[in-house]
């Protein structure tokens, strides 16, 4: 991720330079940096990974309206459908 790259290299290079090279605004970087890390459950992680796989299978063309139907059709078992934020 761009922001993690900037964070890792901010010791050696100025943030303004890294943001310019990575094509992100400094305000977006600092907003990301201040935001607390989100802790997700294993069910949410599984859902996220499955949705990414479906998106890849659709050649990056699957829209948000199509996710739930395709997910239910293709998934063999689904214990919990967590809302994706």
Annotated domain spans of the chain: 2-34, 38-85
pLDDT for 80 = 47
pLDDT for 14 = 96
* Tens of pLDDT, residues 1-57: 899 999 999 999 999 999 999 999 999 999 999 988 788 888 888 888 888 887 787
CA dihedral 6, 12, 16, 20 (to 10 degrees): -60
The predicted model scores a pTM of: 0.48
Residue 83 confidence (pLDDT) above 70 = no
Task: Kindly give, in sequence order, each residue whose CB lies less than 8 Å from that of residue 74, ignoring residues fewer than 6 positions away.
Answer: 54
């Amino acid at each position: 991720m761009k922001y993690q790259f900037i964070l890792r290299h901010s010791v050696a290079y100025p943030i303004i330079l890294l943001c310019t090279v990575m094509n992100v605004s400094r305000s977006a970087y600092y907003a990301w940096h201040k935001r607390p890390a989100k802790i997700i459950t294993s069910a949410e992680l599984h859902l996220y990974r499955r949705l990414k796989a479906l998106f890849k299978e659709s050649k990056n063309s699957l829209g948000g309206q199509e996710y739930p139907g395709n997910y239910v059709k293709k998934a063999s078992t689904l214990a919990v459908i967590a809302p994706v934020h």
